[in-house]
Amino acid sequence: MSFSPEQEELRATVRSFLDRHSDEAAVRRLMETDDGYDPAVWNLMGTQLGLQGLYIPEEYGGSGFSFAELCLVLEEMGARLLCAPFFASAVLAASALLESDDEEAKKDLLPGIASGETIATLAYSNDSGQPDGAVTATSTPAGYTLDGSRHFVLDGALADLILVVACADAGPSLFAVEKGADGLTPTRLPTMDLTRKQADLTFDDTPARLIGAEGSADEVLQRVLQLACVALVNESVGGARAVLEQATTYAKERLQFGRPIGSFQAIKHRCADMLVAVEGSRSAAYHAATVAATGDGQLAVIASLAKSYVSEAYFSVAAENIQVHGGIGFTWEHPAHLYFKRAKSAELLFGDPISHRELLAQRFGL
């Protein structure tokens, strides 16, 4: 995959914006807050850069770019550990609506997501992180109500709009629940990666709007999770690139025995292995982004392949970065641990490498 001049300009614009608004000081300040984002920066992202609606079609208030441009933006966000509900809203929720066949819901809900006025998320997992029937939907004369709970919902306590996978009479279905709805109780979760907020959501006779037809959520959810894996691996490439830069810069500057530590073979080999992992991850992630953007029928295979490789590679280079820095890399004051925790959470999010290799084995009949 090669980038056009227009795509490179987009990258430069986003990188410049994040340099100003998502430096280490901003990340550390925001990750300690309950909501974990800066509303003023979020508003700038929507009104000035149009990032939240980047890949939402123009007819629904977006910019109409492809999934490849979205992945490019996510790579830069991953490099800066942006604290914002972007992944939950612009990737998960937007994709769920776009993959549904409900034109009325798209016209009603996507413009708000595209502008950034609506923060949305997708709630689909049980306490093991897997989709199941933990939430049931009941049809009433006034509409639908939901009962049950969803766990590990990205930005679930913050979202204005929650798209919930629930089991209706016809099977798994997609529903929209508004923030503050009767019977909706969000519970913020303590997380290892403080830059990405999660919550448990409990529904007790909570009114909800059906999105699409009853029983149609299985196919939508599978497609959304495949796109989410592609988006996440591109974000991870940005983080891996950043820790490689940290390690090589430190290896050039840190002196020991009167010479840079990067001149010693042990450090050279570590940095070389990190470079191989980052470049391999970049190739896998960019290919996955291309497949997602072109609608290739191999998305399910490529998404699992990229997720299993890139998530392990990111965690590996984040750990090696700490080793290159030595004692200072283990301290709370150093940014290395921020990337290490993001890498570990990314490795587990949407399925760990083992589960994705198992999916690949099943698809190939192994």
Tell me the two tokens of residue 327. 């004692």
Model confidence, pTM: 0.96
Q: How far is CA 187 from CA 123, 152, 154, 161, 249, in A?
A: 13, 10, 12, 16, 41
Provide the β-strand partners of residue 98. none
Query: What is 120-216's CATH topology?
Result: Butyryl-CoA Dehydrogenase, subunit A; domain 2 (2.40.110)
Q: Which CATH number fits domain 219-363: 1.10.10.10, 3.40.1260.10, 3.40.50.720, 1.20.140.10?
A: 1.20.140.10
Q: Which residues in the chain are classed under CATH 2.40.110.10?
A: 120-216
Instruction: Identify the CATH assignment for 5-115 out of 2.60.40.10, 3.40.50.1580, 1.10.540.10, 1.10.3980.10.
Output: 1.10.540.10
Chain centre to alpha carbon of residue 12: 21
Tens of pLDDT along the chain (366 residues) come to: 678 999 999 999 999 999 999 999 999 999 999 999 999 999 999 999 999 999 999 999 999 999 999 999 999 999 999 999 999 999 999 999 999 999 999 999 999 999 999 999 999 997 766 777 789 999 999 999 999 999 999 999 999 999 999 999 999 999 999 999 999 999 999 999 999 999 999 999 999 999 999 999 999 999 999 999 999 999 999 999 999 999 999 999 988 898 988 889 999 999 999 999 999 999 999 999 999 999 878 999 999 999 999 999 999 999 999 999 998 988 888 999 999 999 999 999 999 999 999 999 998 888
Question: In a 3-state reduction of DSSP, which class is residue 101?
Answer: coil
Collect all residues with Cβ–Cβ distance below 8 Å to 280 and sequence separation of at least 6.
309, 313
Give me the helices (H) in 137-264, please: 217-253
State the span(s) of the chain assigned CATH 1.20.140.10.
219-363
CATH 1.10.540.10 maps onto the chain at 5-115
